């Protein structure tokens, strides 16, 4: 089995959940690819469709209030972008719909599209596209969360286990599945005890515990470990859908009429005073949460949107939290060691989960034909090569470059 052991740092936030559901303003990114459905000074209701995305899905206002203008902010990838700004009137007038109890597959797919459900594992890919199929036999619920610090899936799975299982049951009725796996990590007895009695009524739902390795939460390793099979591009080739646990919870909410307007994010790391999970409105500015996690314990930090392995450093804490971000990790700034000459030890190649040889990618970074031969597009940017490199060479950066070059 491929993977590495990382320090988990999960204890700090495993049982912590607070709410921050009354932001003064919320912000939603607009760019050339999506269509704005409201005009400036329009009043909006909570749950109202305000943006149509390029995938024909929607973004909903997470508060009720007024669209007061367009501002420039940084997004969670540290890029400047335009955001619409909605001022909260705190009235919480909503426009949630009644959803019929029984749904056909097409109605269900449309519901996912209308509710703006996206993969909450981080990719943010519209979920309705995944579910628009007749092939699915197996559903895998990803509750593995292999990145250090992050516990938002855990806390959702723990607190909302009943709701998630209810949603799974509904999905099963629509698709008539063969089996459903809820994948969690080993060494999480509380969660296990919580889930087992709840699934006892549903013979199709099984709980699987997977080893504590990174990147276990990657779809391919999940499928490999649970179903012992491999696919080329998408799990549906083997009649499998993999969905994140938090995504299933947002499907539950969609089934009762609430679109994706709230989510849980983990704020943790060795430079925050009170690491915690926070339930927030989508579109909240991260800076607003300062009081909730009691500020930073250090002056000189690295603020990472996402986990420490795959996340991105952000230049300011005034960035907007989108619907697909599940954690912010703030770490003390430790001095980065200068890379030295590659020793050619091959540890990067040994540990690569997609069997690329990163050192050769680095050597041949200018040779596009060679990069094609090395098939760099398989790279999932998990960062293990950079992690294990004894010479401290950031190989992932070379791979990112290489991927751009062969495109």
The binding site for other proteins (CB under 8 A) comprises 4, 6-7, 78, 148, 296, 299-304, 308-317, 329, 331, 333, 336-337, 340-347, 349-350, 355-357, 359-360, 373-375, 378, 383, 386-392, 394, 396-397
Choose between 19 and 79: whose C-beta lies nearer to other proteins.
79
Minimum distance from residue 79 beta carbon to other proteins (Å): 12
Choose between 52 and 332: whose C-beta lies nearer to other proteins.
332
Q: How far is residue 393 CA from its own chain's centroid? A: 27
Nearest to 142 by CA among 132, 131, 152, 129: 152
CA atoms of 104 and 175, how far apart (whole Å): 9
Choose between 245 and 393: whose C-beta lies nearer to other proteins.
393
Choose between 31 and 315: whose C-beta lies nearer to other proteins.
315
Please state the length of the chain.
407
Write the Ramachandran bin of 381: left for phi over 0, alpha for psi from -120 to 50, otherwise beta: left
Minimum distance from residue 199 beta carbon to other proteins (Å): 34
Minimum distance from residue 115 beta carbon to other proteins (Å): 32
- Phi, psi values for residue 13, rounded to 5°: -115, 0
> Which H or E element spans position 199?
helix 189-199
Q: b/e per residue, 15-40, with b = 16+ CB within 10 A?
A: ebbeebbebebbbbbbeeebeeebee
Minimum distance from residue 362 beta carbon to other proteins (Å): 11
Nearest to 70 by CA among 79, 80, 56, 58: 80
Minimum distance from residue 56 beta carbon to other proteins (Å): 32
Minimum distance from residue 325 beta carbon to other proteins (Å): 15
Choose between 157 and 384: whose C-beta lies nearer to other proteins.
384
Nearest to 120 by CA among 81, 95, 155: 155
Task: Judge whether 236 and 135 are in contact, CB under 8 Å.
Answer: yes
List, in sequence order, every residue forming a beta bridge with 183; answer none if it has no partner: 142, 208
Choose between 64 and 386: whose C-beta lies nearer to other proteins.
386
Choose between 237 and 350: whose C-beta lies nearer to other proteins.
350
Q: b/e per residue, 357-366, with b = 16+ CB within 10 A?
A: bbbbbbebbe
Angle at 372 between CA 358 and CA 146, to 5 degrees: 45
Minimum distance from residue 295 beta carbon to other proteins (Å): 9
- Pairing mode of beta strands 25-30, 80-88: antiparallel
Minimum distance from residue 299 beta carbon to other proteins (Å): 6
Q: Is the dihedral of CA 26, 30, 36, 40 positive or negative?
A: positive
Minimum distance from residue 123 beta carbon to other proteins (Å): 17
Angle at 274 between CA 268 and CA 276, to 5 degrees: 55
> Which H or E element spans position 379?
none
Choose between 97 and 401: whose C-beta lies nearer to other proteins.
401
Choose between 207 and 342: whose C-beta lies nearer to other proteins.
342
CA atoms of 126 and 119, how far apart (whole Å): 6
Minimum distance from residue 232 beta carbon to other proteins (Å): 12
Residue 15 neighbours by CB under 8 Å, 6+ apart: 155
Choose between 195 and 309: whose C-beta lies nearer to other proteins.
309
């Amino acid at each position: 089995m491929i993977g590495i052991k990382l320090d988990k740092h999960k204890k700090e936030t495993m049982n912590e959940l607070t709410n921050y559901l009354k932001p003064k303003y919320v912000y939603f990114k607009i760019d050339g690819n999506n269509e704005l459905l409201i005009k400036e000074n329009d009043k909006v209701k909570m749950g109202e469709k305000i943006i149509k995305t390029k995938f024909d899905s929607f973004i909903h206002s997470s508060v009720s209030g007024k669209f007061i203008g367009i501002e420039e902010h940084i997004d969670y990838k540290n890029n400047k972008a335009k955001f619409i700004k909605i001022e909260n009137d705190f009235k919480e007038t909503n426009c949630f719909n009644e959803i019929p109890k029984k749904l056909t597959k097409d109605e269900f797919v449309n519901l996912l599209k209308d509710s703006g459900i996206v993969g909450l594992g981080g990719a943010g890919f519209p979920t309705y596209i995944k579910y628009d199929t007749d092939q699915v036999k197996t559903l895998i619920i990803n509750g593995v969360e292999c990145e250090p610090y992050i516990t938002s899936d855990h806390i959702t799975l723990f607190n909302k286990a009943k709701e998630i299982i209810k949603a799974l049951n509904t999905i099963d009725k629509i698709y008539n599945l063969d089996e459903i796996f809820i994948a969690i990590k080993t060494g999480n007895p509380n969660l296990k005890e919580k889930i087992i009695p709840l699934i006892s009524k549903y013979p199709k739902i099984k709980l699987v515990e997977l080893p504590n390795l990174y990147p276990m939460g990657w779809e391919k390793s999940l499928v490999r470990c649970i179903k012992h099979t491999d696919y080329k591009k998408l799990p549906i080739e083997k009649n499998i859908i993999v969905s994140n646990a938090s995504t299933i919870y947002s499907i539950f909410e969609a089934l009762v009429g609430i679109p994706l307007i709230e989510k849980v994010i983990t704020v943790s790391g060795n430079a925050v005073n009170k690491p915690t999970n926070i339930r927030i409105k989508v579109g909240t500015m991260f800076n607003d949460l300062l009081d909730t996690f009691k500020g930073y314990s250090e002056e000189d930090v690295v603020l990472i949107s996402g986990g420490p392995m795959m996340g991105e450093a952000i230049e300011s804490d005034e960035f907007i939290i989108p619907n697909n971000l599940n954690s912010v990790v703030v770490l003390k700034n430790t001095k980065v060691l200068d890379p030295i000459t590659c020793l050619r030890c091959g540890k990067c190649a040994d540990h690569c989960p997609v069997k690329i040889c990163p050192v050769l990618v680095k050597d041949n970074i200018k040779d596009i034909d060679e990069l094609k031969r090395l098939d760099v597009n398989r790279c999932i940017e998990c960062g293990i090569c950079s992690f294990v490199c004894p010479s401290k060479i950031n190989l992932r950066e070379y791979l990112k470059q290489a991927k751009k070059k062969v495109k």
